[in-house]
Structures are given as structure tokens and as C-alpha cells.
Amino acid sequence: MKSKTVNLNKCNDLLYITFPKLTATNAVNHAFSTKLGGVSEGYFSSMNMSFSKGEEREKTEENYRRLCSAIGSDISHLVFSHQTHTDNIKTVTKEHLGVGFNKPPFNDIDGLITNESGVALVTQYADCTPLLFCDPVKKVIAASHSGWRGTVKQIGRKTVERMVGEFGCNPDDIIAAIGPSICKDCYEVDDPVLEAFKKTDIDLKGVFTSTTVGHYQLDLRLANKKILMSAGIREENIDIADICTCCNSEYLYSHRVMGEKRGNLAAIIELK
């Protein structure tokens, strides 16, 4: 697995991804996991980050412990939600530390936002698009899970709007990252998906390419880039991972490749 747009980091056997523009803020600890460097076994091997797939909890906890240690975060700072492809966004504080880890998760939440340091926002993936945000001026971060349904609902734009409305962020100051997800060449969809996008105000130029009758290749990365830019984020402030989860299923979990017999990847972002 190679990349020209994101950083591949190794810590012993652990391989994880970071985003140059987020790193340059010097305001956050962050990472996007891979399959490598954990203790999971079987089809979870070896870095499953999901507590809901049936793996022994102790193994998943150890995986988080290793990733948190690598990026300088405390495992007790993690906050999770149960993602269901909504556009629901939850503001969290230190009183929520451990939610989803050693406390019940938030339900039907696909975006998390905070302005408090030491709160590590966690979202999970296996082809859907990770969106990470940092305003280093107002000291606000967010993480949103954007599959095709979340993209149609423009959860990325709504996350920016929450950062602006709740914390006074200026979109010009926001740094964003679009993480590893399924690429356009690997992601074929049908007419109902196209029709759902047509009902939005998203600029669809280049987002869909017709293949056979009623079938299209969908570029979720481009769609989300356009959504973030329409929300006021400057193009030069957006990192876009050039890594496909499906093409790189040796290194990353992909629902298209593995179905339900797989682990999940995780994105973590935390204000220092």
C-alpha cells in the first residue's frame, strides 16, 4: 500500500495513517487504522476496531490500546457512537469519556464534535468515507461517517455548520481530511442511488460515470470534497486520501470484499 497524499506510519508491527494538514496544525492527535499490528485473529485479523462484530472484547481493547499509545492518546478518553448512516451529530464533552468503550454508545449518531481537549472522537469504517475536521483557531474538532446515504444527507456540510453555529468557527480556518474509502472504480451503484443524489444540490459533475444501463461508478471522495467546499472550506485546506479500502483489502477492511465477516477500521481525532 502506497500513498502520495497521506502519511503511512509504523510503530513496531502497527501500521496507521495520518493526514499532513491535520498534523501541521499541531493541535490534534489523530490516526486512521489499518488491519496491521493488532491481536485479532481469524477474519478479524489483526487490528479489528469494532466491539459489535463478535470478537472477544479484550482483543479489540488491546488494539485500541496500541493505536492510542502510538499517537499519544489515553484509551480512557475514547468516545464512540452507534453509526446508522444518519446525519445526526452529537456534541460531546469530558463527561462523555468512555461512552461506547466502557459505557453504552450513543445511538443513531454519525458525527461527533467537541471543543474540549482530551476527548478522543472515534468513528468506524469498512468502505464508507471518513471525514475529520479541525479548527486550530477556535480549537474545535469533529469526525463524521459518510457512506453514500450520509453523503446524500451532506453530513459533511452539516458538521461544518455545527462548528460554525455552535462554536463560532470560520470555515476559512477549518482543516479537513477525507480518509481512505472505496474508490470510484470499485464502487458500482444503481439508479436509486443516482436518483437520491439528483434530489440534492450537490454538484454531480464527475461524481457519477455511467457503465451499463442503470449502473454507475460513484466517486464518494469527490462528492464529499464538493460538499466541504460548498460549506466554505478552502480546497487547499482539504487532505484527500488516495487509498482505496477495496483495492487494498490486504491492509484495510472492505465490506465489498469481505462482507460481514470482517473487522472495522477506526478514525481517531483528539484535541491536545
Which domains are present in the chain? Answer: 7-182+233-271 (3.60.140.10)
Confidence of residue 42 (pLDDT cuts 50, 70, 90): very high
Per-residue confidence (pLDDT) for residue 261, from 0 to 100: 94
**What pLDDT, in 10s, does the model give residues 212-255?**
999 999 999 999 999 999 999 999 999 999 999 999 999 999 99
**What pLDDT, in 10s, does the model give residues 98-108?**
999 999 999 99
In 3D, which of 94, 127, 129 has the Cα closest to residue 110? Answer: 129
Length of the chain: 272
Helices (H), 31-126: 57-71
The residue-averaged pLDDT of 165-191 equals 98
Confidence of residue 201 (pLDDT cuts 50, 70, 90): very high
Assigned C-alpha cell, 128:
464508507
How far is it, in rounded angstroms, from Cα 119 to Cα 99?
Answer: 11
In the chain, % of residues over pLDDT 90: 100
Inter-CA distances, 12 with 38, 176, 204, 252, Å: 11, 28, 43, 18
Torsion angles phi and psi, residue 32, rounded to 5: -125, 125
Q: Contact 189/195 with Cβ under 8 angstroms?
A: no
In 3D, which of 113, 227, 155 has the Cα closest to residue 122? Answer: 113
pTM of the model: 0.98
3-class SS at 28? strand
Name beta bridge partners: 111. 89, 144
Per-residue confidence (pLDDT) for residue 226, from 0 to 100: 98
Per-residue confidence (pLDDT) for residue 172, from 0 to 100: 98
Q: Which residues of 133-165 are buried (b: 16+ CB within 10 A; e: fewer)?
A: bbbbebbbbbbbbbbbbbbbbbbbbbbbbbbbe
The residue-averaged pLDDT of 45-71 equals 97
In the chain, % of residues over pLDDT 70: 100
How far is it, in rounded angstroms, from Cα 153 to Cα 157?
Answer: 9
Per-residue confidence (pLDDT) for residue 236, from 0 to 100: 98
Per-residue confidence (pLDDT) for residue 165, from 0 to 100: 98
Per-residue confidence (pLDDT) for residue 86, from 0 to 100: 98
Assigned C-alpha cell, 65:
490500546
The residue-averaged pLDDT of 44-62 equals 96
